[in-house]
Homo-oligomer: A and B are copies of this chain.
Amino acid sequence: MKVHQLGRGFWEQQEPLLSLGCKRLRPLAPKLHSNFTDTTTTVSSFDLKSFIRPDSGPRKLGNAPSNENRHSPPVETHPGGTRWNPTQEQIGILEMLYRGGMRTPNAQQIEQITEQLGKYGKIEGKNVFYWFQNHKARERQKQKRNSLGLGHCPRKSAPISPLTWDTRVEIITDREEDSPYKRKCRSWSFEEEEISRSSSKEDENRTLELFPLHPERR
């Protein structure tokens, strides 16, 4: 309906490769071909052009000295705020929860936390998710660094200081409750980034984009 040429072109281009795949023995499954060849027609309904390297593949040097031109699109990339800037209230709550033992909140918890934290500033679920991940990791490495650097005594992390004590409490709680690899089923949703970089730089109430993905598992 929308794309004819482009989509078709790509698929036809790729198809030989795919059939090649059938020719050269594939590791798995010569693949009973149902209406797969029909795929070409069906699948062509989305724009494949954007799939294969959406950007022209600029090699981004991490330490590039060029101060200008930080991003691939020269300008107007991120209209408003780029990254989450937590408020004191939000940080406070998060730390509190962390200290309470929360390490990797599940989807439901994230949803609720986000909802609450949203009262103190813009926030999304992924921010909460990231925060816990980062905080956890950084506490961990902080502890490691402390245990290694503070003298040589492998005994305890440190004698007793407010900071150390506080930290240790968190860590211990952490250790106690968090097991590596507890299975948690998380469903994600994705968002396109710079499609319609429309207009105003003013921030508005960017509503938190959370939703109940599976209201229930049927």
Contacts and interface: CB of A to CB of B under 8 A. Distances in A.
A21 B116 contact: no
Interface in A197-218: 197-200, 202-204, 206, 209-218
Contacts of A109: 50-51, 54
Contacts of A68: none
Given A62-B181, A89-B39, A179-B72, A190 B218 contact: no
Nearest to A57: B177
Nearest to A64: B179
A78 interface: yes
Given A181-B62, A211-B211, A129 B23 contact: no
B162 A20 contact: yes
A189 interface: yes
A188 B185 contact: no
Oligomeric state, in number of copies?
Answer: 2
A43 B185 contact: no
Give chain A's interface residue range (CB within 8 Å of chain B).
Answer: 35 or more
A6 interface: no
Interface of A is mostly: loop
A169 to B, nearest CB: 8
Name, among A61, A129, A209, the residue most crowded by chain B CB atoms within 10 Å (CB to CB): A209
A106 interface: yes
Contacts of A192: 106-108, 111, 212, 214
A51 B100 contact: yes
Contact of A189 (B89, B120, B213): B213
A33 interface: yes
Interface string A75-115: 00111100000011101110111011110011111111101
A183 interface: yes
Interface of A: 10-11, 14-15, 17-18, 20-21, 23-29, 31-36, 38-39, 42-43, 45-48, 50-55, 57, 59-62, 71-72, 77-80, 87-89, 91-93, 95-97, 99-102, 105-113, 115-116, 119-120, 124-126, 129, 161-163, 165-166, 169, 176-177, 179-200, 202-204, 206, 209-218
